[in-house]
């Protein structure tokens, strides 16, 4: 039987409200079926909608299920930060001081607060290594660039299925007008370096036509796994920021920090709407 459930909508990865990536959060999702969650996520039509449930792991503060308009994901970054922000805003109290533990399809994900930001410890990648050369050529065609313009490529899959390619510059990334009709199921990150002396290290774009979102404004999971690739290969410093969403009129900034053997991914969060969902 439908009832009122606590609900929030959170803007993630921008210090300017409504300039990051929104996530819808149903804070009291117990009793909703998979079909009902999928229908709600399809209706909100955001890149992700999340559902907060009691944990099954005794070490977790809550359990999170994450849906795109077309399917469920085991993990995603901006929904992780946005859901934690909504949970805290609604009065959630972590089991441990200074750390929040989220249970999700990818296992346990640790989060921490720092001033006005939240960050998560990047989960292990499920797939790494170079892309197949035939796939790289297909990506070049879809992006409308020469194969030689792709300076590096890698599987950076931590759940959603990401692949990534590196171009020479942020300007080249921002100029892209891709056509993925030939590889419609791709989940692709494209990055390029900002000029020397810039405030931020990279511009990144995330193309996900296969899950019903042509381009995701700001993407925590992709930035997490790209950071693991770049820092591990010596292509980026151990602490940097990346911009995303510029091509969509957003103002996303993702902070990356490598600490010992962990990559932390963070950004600003703003709870923009509080209310109830009838579900």
**What residues act catalytically?**
48
Report the DSSP beta bridge partners of residue 256.
Answer: 240, 265
Cα gap 20→23, rounded to integer Å: 10
Whether the CB-CB separation of 254 and 13 falls below 8 Å is answered with: yes
Buried b (16+ CB within 10 A) or exposed e, 106-138: beebbbbbeeebbbbbbbebbeeeebeeebbeb
Q: What is the 3-state secondary structure (H, E, C) of the chain?
A: CCCEEEEEEEEECCCCCCCCEEEEEECCCCCCCHHHHHHHHHHHCCCCEEEEECCCCCCCCEEEEEECCCCEECCCHHHHHHHHHHHHHCCCCCCECCEEEEEECCEEEEEEEECCEEEEECCCCCECCCCCHHHHHHHHHHHCCCHHHCCEEEECECCCCCEEEECCCHHHHHCCCCCCHHHCCCCEEEEEECCCCCCCCEEEEEEEHHHCEEEECCCHHHHHHHHHHHHHCCCCCCEEEEEECHHHCCCEEEEEEEECCEEEEEEEEEEEEEEEEEC
């Amino acid at each position: 039987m439908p009832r009122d459930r606590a609900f929030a909508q959170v803007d993630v990865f921008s210090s300017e409200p409504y300039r990051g990536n929104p996530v819808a959060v149903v804070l009291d999702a117990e009793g909703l079926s998979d079909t009902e969650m999928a229908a709600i996520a399809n209706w909100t039509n955001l890149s992700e909608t999340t559902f907060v449930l009691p944990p099954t792991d005794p070490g977790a503060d809550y359990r999170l299920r994450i849906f795109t308009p077309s399917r469920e994901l085991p993990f995603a970054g901006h929904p992780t930060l946005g859901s934690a922000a909504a949970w805290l805003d609604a009065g959630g109290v972590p089991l441990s001081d200074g750390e929040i533990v989220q249970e999700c399809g990818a296992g346990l994900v640790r989060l921490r607060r720092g001033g006005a930001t939240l960050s998560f410890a990047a989960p292990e990648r499920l797939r790494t290594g170079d892309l197949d050369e035939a796939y790289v050529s297909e990506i070049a065609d879809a992006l409308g660039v020469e194969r030689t313009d792709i300076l590096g490529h890698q599987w950076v899959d931590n759940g959603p299925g990401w692949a990534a390619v590196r171009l020479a510059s942020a300007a080249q990334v921002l100029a892209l007008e891709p056509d993925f009709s030939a590889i419609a199921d791709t989940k692709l990150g494209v990055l390029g370096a900002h000029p020397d002396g810039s405030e931020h290290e990279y511009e990144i774009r995330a193309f996900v036509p296969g899950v019903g979102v042509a381009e995701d404004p700001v993407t925590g999971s992709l930035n997490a796994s790209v950071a693991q690739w770049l820092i591990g290969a010596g292509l980026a410093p151990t602490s940097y920021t990346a911009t995303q969403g510029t091509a969509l009129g957003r103002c996303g900034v993702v902070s990356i920090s490598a600490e010992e053997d962990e990559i932390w991914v963070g950004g600003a969060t703003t709870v923009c709407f509080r209310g109830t969902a009838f579900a």
